[in-house]
Structure 1
Amino acid sequence: MKAVSTPVETAFTNVSAMAHTHDGIDWTTRLAPMRRTDAIEAEVNGWVADRLVEPLPPGATVVDVGSGSGGMAAALTAAIAARSGGRIVLVDAVPELQAVAAEQVAAVAGDRVEVVTVLADAAADGLADLVPAADLVWASRVVHHLPDERRGVAGLARLLRPGGVLALGEGGLSTRCLPWDVGVGEPGLQDRLIAARGEWFAEMRAGIEGAVRTPVGWNRVLGEAGLVDITSFSYLVDLPAPASEQVRLSVADWLGMYARVCAERLSESDQAALARLLDPTGPDWVAARDDVFVLGASTVHLGRAA
């Protein structure tokens, strides 16, 4: 396989299809927080990428479906480049996100990794016709935004060559960032935010056109898609206090996201507390605290094409 070494403007093979998202979320407004998350999670993303890429054959093709702002795509690319080289395929439905992901990947691809971008809906029936057969498909936090999660996973499984692996990043434990008592409003704010987000998530899923419930675990979904050797592993994002400025700003991003999606589900007292914590000009600005942190667990479910 001949790797691509030309500048970023010409280094990418671009394939387009009719692309859109199903969840009604304007992902372009989340780009800056997503980039900050990429930065603070770079080390753990590298560990996950190394674990996934290590058993792949030389010259492997890796497809990142829902590549977002490119943090994990860059980690996967670096892992491919550090071994025998290969190909990375970035699939996303939002062109603004894909452009940023492509820039991140270009920074680490060098002359050992060919880069392909595919602008497409992850649920598209013809996705397998746009994407080369994969040794590894990585899809993190994308399937739960599709109308029919089981059908979505089945579609991802069709991207695999025989022996290829689907790595599905779904589930884990809710991220925590705040002390139980932040000194603003009533104690336990974080717990109420997490509960409110759970309500929002259920409504988001129900509001997707054609939404279908998935009343089984992800291991069963992978098995229904015809995959074998199904297993999983979980990993921590553990960035303790006192944290760097980037981590503290990421906590502000996290709190801002909760404020956007959960405000109407919170009491007036909690809404007022959020407003104070999110005011960068006030004395309670959350990013100025030395006791905030990031602690969460994510799970990766694995299945192999027979």
Structure 2
Amino acid sequence: MAELLDLDAEVMEAYLSGVGAWIDELAADQPPRRILDLGSGTGTGTFTLLRRFERADAIALDVSASMLRHLRNRARVLGLADRVRTVQADLDDAAWPAVDAVDLVWASSSLHHMADPDRVLTEVFATLRPGGLLVVAEMESFPRFLPDDLGLGRPGLEARCHAALNGARDTALPHLGSDWGSRLSRAGFTIEAERPFAINLTPPLPASAGRYAEATLRRIRLHLDGRMSADDLATLDALIDSDGTGSVLRRDDLTVRTARTVWAARRP
């Protein structure tokens, strides 16, 4: 998962830069000095925002100790270690971790993992200083990479993978695709903007895009046994076989297609 998150940050650099610039505009009157990255993973949001706001420091909060170790190592490599503090916490627990008041909270693809996101949003509201900004980014689905005509005698392999995955995910992630604007309003926030970001990267792509496609498809494959035909699974297995001739690493027709929506909400 750490590899996938790092590749996502590398491949989606233009998207992240665009979101960072947009946040900079929204925070122009009050540049943040303390940032909370909620569900930080390997630090994609932490490092994007610290580069954008050079006088800020950040609290990276995540449930995973290994992710936070990875984040601290990256911070040292990037020369940002003195501006980052990590906090390990399971936000599904009753107790909100002890963190200082912050000016900006970044929550990217993390709220839909929470058992009770409404309670978490209430805690975020209390943690933000008055006038502080919460930025929520959510994806519609995993990115798509493959040509639509791919499939052993039956085009549309990737579409079938996503359809099967959606069926499995409805139970595991019931809050994915929520009306986050309404939830933010109920928690007391004032919605300043809702902005869709369409991502469509076309060939030629850097080698990292192939690794990103492989890591994403490999993760999807974990959930597809018994949900797709043997032929489809065999084709998918060939695509994620790094050493095979049919590997996505050897294709020159990959794209990266996805959409993410970002909400900016302020504590009055």
Query: What TM-score results when the alignment is normalised by the length of structure 1?
Result: 0.79
> Residue 188 of structure 1 is aligned with which of 156, 161, 167?
156
- Residue 93 (structure 1) aligns with: 63
**Unpaired runs of 5+ in structure 2?**
none
Residue type matched to 1:231 in 2?
A
8 A contact 2:200–2:257 mirrored in 1 = yes
- Residue 51 (structure 2) aligns with: 78
Which stretch of the first structure deviates more once superposed, 139-148 or 213-222? 213-222
1: distance between equivalents of 2:220 and 2:91?
A: 26
Q: What is the CA RMSD across the aligned residues, in angstroms? A: 2.3
- Once the two structures are superposed, the pairs formed by residues 23-62 of structure 1 within 5 Å of their partners are 30-54=1-25, 55=27, 57-58=30-31, 60-62=33-35
- Residue 281 (structure 1) aligns with: 243
8 A contact 1:248–1:293 mirrored in 2 = no
2: distance between equivalents of 1:97 and 1:215?
A: 25
1: distance between equivalents of 2:132 and 2:108?
A: 17
Tell me how far 1:104 sits from its aligned partner: 2.8
- Residue 25 (structure 1) aligns with: none
- Residue 304 (structure 1) aligns with: 266
Tell me how far 1:74 sits from its aligned partner: 0.8
Identical amino acids, percent of aligned pairs: 26
Question: What secondary structure is seen at the aligned counterpart in 2 of 1:45?
Answer: helix
2: distance between equivalents of 1:103 and 1:214?
A: 30
1: distance between equivalents of 2:3 and 2:177?
A: 34
- Deviations along 1:123-150, one digit per CA (max 9) or x if unpaired, are 34432x5112111100111111111222
- Residue 197 (structure 1) aligns with: 165
- Deviations along 1:194-225, one digit per CA (max 9) or x if unpaired, are 1111112112136xxxxxx6996111100110
> Residue 121 of structure 1 is aligned with which of 90, 93, 101?
90
- Deviations along 1:261-289, one digit per CA (max 9) or x if unpaired, are 22321111211111122222322112100
**Unpaired runs of 5+ in structure 1?**
1-29, 207-212
Question: What secondary structure is seen at the aligned counterpart in 1 of 2:140?
Answer: strand
Query: What TM-score results when the alignment is normalised by the length of structure 2?
Result: 0.90
Residue type matched to 2:119 in 1?
R
Residue type matched to 1:92 in 2?
D
Residue type matched to 2:73 in 1?
E
Residue 294 in structure 1 maps to residue 256 in structure 2? yes
Q: 1:242 to 1:184 in 2, by over 3 A?
A: farther
Tell me how far 1:52 sits from its aligned partner: 1.4
Residue type matched to 2:66 in 1?
E
8 A contact 2:35–2:102 mirrored in 1 = yes
